[in-house]
Amino acid sequence: MIRIKWLEGPDDLTDAYRVRFQVFVKEQNVPPELEIDDMDKIARHILVYMNSSPIGTGRLFVQDGKCYLGRIAVLREYRKQHIGTLIVKSLLQKAFNSGIDEVHIHAQIWVQDFYKKLGFIPYGKPFYEAGIEHISMVAYRPDSQDNSNSLLNETL
């Protein structure tokens, strides 16, 4: 059975780290010291469990007035079963329900089509983070006004 759990920064994030270390550190060779950062303390974290095992995670936080979604990870054996979609949609809903108009992500280039399917639009030039090529993307609240100006501001 699939179950969702929400955590705050001060909570015990062991289950989120278990998934993230498996996916980002072991699978993608991200240095372990980069995997946990200060944003974890202020973020809201989503955990997806299959029965009692954590199989997916992601986080949402505001930095310098901008809302970011990130650390989206699903264990390899559970991919292509729409768990990633569940995580991203849940995080977006959480952000939009709290009045946020736009949500940004630094997406790994190879995965941008996954985010495009969920309404994200790429902007700016590709850049490297943790040795992996990324692109900035943004998703707008469906009823938010004046999207074009907002995207323009981010692009400039």
Ligand X SMILES: CC(C)(COP(=O)(O)OP(=O)(O)OC[C@H]1O[C@@H](n2cnc3c(N)ncnc32)[C@H](O)[C@@H]1OP(=O)(O)O)[C@@H](O)C(=O)NCCC(=O)NCCS
For residues 106-135, which are near ligand X according to CB under 6 A?
107-108, 110-111, 113-114, 117
Site pattern 44..83 for ligand X (x: CB under 6 A):
----------------------------xxx----xxxxx
* 13 vs 88, beta carbon nearer ligand X: 88
Q: Say how far residue 125 (Cα) sits from the centre of its chain.
A: 19
Amino acid (one-letter) located at 7? L
Q: Is 150 among the residues that bind ligand X (CB under 6 A)? A: no
Tell how strand 102-108 and strand 66-74 pair up.
parallel
Nearest distance from residue 49's CB to ligand X, in Å? 14
Beta partners for 73? 57
Contacting ligand X within 10-29 (CB under 6 A): 23
Count of positions on this chain that bind ligand X (CB under 6 A): 18
- Those residues whose C-beta lies under 8 Å from the C-beta of residue 7, and which sit 6 or more positions away, are 13, 16, 44, 45, 46, 47
